[in-house]
Chains A and B, each alone.
Chain A
Amino acid sequence: MEIIQQLVNGISLGSIYALIALGYTMVYGIVKLINFAHGDVFMVGSFVGFYSITFLHLSFFPALILSMVACALFGVLIERIAYKPLRNATRIAALITAIGVSLLIENGMIFFRGAQLEAYPNDILPTNKINLLGVTVESKSLLILGVSVALMIILQFVVHKTKIGKAMRAVSHDAEAAKLMGINVNNTISATFAIGSSLAGAAGVIFGTYYYKIEPLMGVIPGLKAFVAAVLGGIGIIPGAMVGGLLLGVIESLVSAAGGSLWRDGVAFIVLILILIFMPQGIFGKNKREKV
């Protein structure tokens, strides 16, 4: 039963990775940029959630929505200020800018509020233990899993059934052609950043309620791991990010269960390098020939 317990933990962790990975994969799909600052948007979302719970005395769902809105605005702001002027620059210039933005958010946060930890109050969600076929599961992790899955379903709906989703798919397929068809590429890219960042904000609040402790540098490692998850599922492919995130969470939990808890952080990167060497297109990706 120990192994099933670990699987449940892994899926909870994996759903957080999946939510962050969705933002990475959408942004990469549309502007071919690894948005290093995405992990820090996650951190900002977590702090917005924390302050709205402790200072504004909101309950879980209003805090979640407030944090998602704040992060969507923040993501668009980052895109407009830092990434938009570099739309036609080299890939390396865009990548370095993304690293710079990431460092700026982290250290700006430390500069303005200090590096100390904060702890989410532990009575936001009911903490009943539910017995499922001999496995004790916290009601909290079920609720979190439910919220993540609901967000992913909403995302699928937005991407496949709405006008903006259609525009996003068109731009990621061929930005030039989309422009000729009368799609406002700049607004579409901003909308992608907004949606991706709001998912990261939601992941931040969920992370806080599940693991309690938050701090300004908390976004770095989950951000990198979520990127690994996005690569694992095939970057640019939305269902790939979900599966990749869940898979990575489960792999990590199984490794800690097997006694390698100190190696847990290393596993994600070993997975990354193996994937990049043997299967660079990811699980869901199609093999693309290089265009000359």
Chain B
Amino acid sequence: MIKLKQTKGFWLSILFAFALFTIVQIVISSALINFYIVNIIMTMGIYIILAVSLHLIIGITGQFSIGHAGFLAVGAYTSAVFTMKLGQPLLIGLIAGGLAAAIAGMLIGIPSLRLKGDYLAIATLGFGEIVRITFFNIDYIGGPSGMMVSQLTTWPWVFGCMLLTILVIRNFTNSTHGRACISVREDEIAADAMGINTTYYKVVAFLIGSFFAGVGGALWAHNFYIIQPSQFGFLKSFDILIFVVLGGLGSMSGAVIAAILLTLVSMLLTEYPETRMVIYSLILIITMLYRPRGLLGTKEVTSLFTNRRNKKGGPKDGNTHTVA
């Protein structure tokens, strides 16, 4: 009974999630909305997966990675090869895409033990570029002109992957491992001194983050009919980065909300791509100048509803007269 009480929030959110799923599914299958809006919803789901996976790396572990599009590309191309060239079903493609991206994440994560802050950022950016140029030069997957992929991504797939990503990363964050990652973010030297294997946790964060980025990439590939290396340049990495930064470095719900909002904004401005980028960059600069922790900081949306009653400041014994 106590256990049920403790996990009440969890089951409520699962219930809410399935209600959301069913509603959207009914709306889609009854053809109430046109194809364009369905596509926006799918894109939103994929962006949420990407934002949450980057949130684990930047927001929780504090490793500033700006090569997320590289993992996205690895996942997209691997899954496309599995489904299109080898004739496997989408599920195999998703898993293969995720695993390939995780291996890539480990490759970039292991050198990152020696790099910090700015240097890591540049190394991940370089990694993203190397991935793009590599795909550019492989003729088997179409080289610069890209690869045709049939549309297999459906709402249940997107939703399932999104839910899985959020659940895994949420539970990871709340576990011992997640707390270790947070301590690495707060102060790496102190964490090291407390006996935390910082290298191990950094690699784990990269591994999990890039796995889900790869899954997102697989869904991406099967949603847009064609994938080209030029889609995965560093502008794509910045697109994902801005979700995490705007939502709040360290807030998963913030990243999700930012992903939803900015996808809507960019859909409204599809006709004016420069205006969109000008707005994006202004958002980045103004957020950093006036609210450097992002909209929600490290808080979650759920914490706005709970605990307010219990959190009354002041000393425990009710003494209001003592100074200091």
**B129 surroundings in chain A (CB, below 8 A):** 224, 265-266, 269
- Nearest-Cβ distance from residue A98 to partner chain B, whole angstroms: 9
Judge whether A96 and B125 touch: CB under 8 Å.
Answer: no
Size of the B side of the interface (Cβ < 8 Å), in residues, is 40
Known: A103-B281, A110-B274. A90 touches B126 (CB 8 A): no
Query: B interface, by DSSP: helix, strand, loop or mixed?
Result: helix
Judge whether B284 and A103 touch: CB under 8 Å.
Answer: yes
Judge whether B288 and A266 touch: CB under 8 Å.
Answer: no
* A97, A102, A115 interface centre (most CB from chain B within 10 Å): A97
Judge whether B288 and A34 touch: CB under 8 Å.
Answer: no
A272 at the interface (CB under 8 A from B): yes
Judge whether B249 and A273 touch: CB under 8 Å.
Answer: no
Known: A82-B289, A103-B281, A292-B189. A95 touches B130 (CB 8 A): no
Which chain B residues numbered 267 to 294 have a C-beta less than 8 Å away from chain A? 274-275, 277-278, 280-285, 288-289, 292
Inter-chain residue pair count (beta carbon < 8 A): 116
**B114 surroundings in chain A (CB, below 8 A):** 276-277, 280
Judge whether A99 and B238 touch: CB under 8 Å.
Answer: yes
A154 at the interface (CB under 8 A from B): no
- The contact of A97 among B123, B137, B280, B288, by CB within 8 Å, is B288
Judge whether A280 and B119 touch: CB under 8 Å.
Answer: yes
Q: How far is the CA of A284 from the CA of B307 in the complex (A)?
A: 55
**A97 surroundings in chain B (CB, below 8 A):** 284-285, 288-289
Known: A85-B289, A86-B289, A92-B249. A277 touches B111 (CB 8 A): yes
Judge whether B245 and A96 touch: CB under 8 Å.
Answer: yes
Interface string of B105-130 (1 = CB under 8 A from A): 00000010011011101110111011
B64 at the interface (CB under 8 A from A): yes
Judge whether A108 and B278 touch: CB under 8 Å.
Answer: yes
Identify the closest chain A residue to B278 (Cβ).
Answer: A107
8 A-B pairs, CB-CB below 8 angstroms?
A100-B285, A107-B274, A107-B281, A111-B275, A262-B136, A266-B133, A276-B119, A277-B111
- Which 7 A/B pairs are nearest by Cβ-Cβ distance? A100-B284, A269-B126, A103-B281, A107-B277, A104-B281, A266-B133, A100-B285
Which residues of B line the A interface, CB within 8 A? 58, 62, 64, 66, 111, 114-115, 117-119, 121-123, 125-127, 129-130, 133-134, 136-137, 189, 238, 241, 245, 249, 274-275, 277-278, 280-285, 288-289, 292
Given contacts A231-B122, A262-B136, 13 further A-B contacts (CB under 8 A): A85-B289, A86-B288, A89-B292, A91-B117, A92-B64, A95-B118, A97-B288, A100-B288, A103-B281, A110-B277, A263-B137, A273-B111, A280-B115
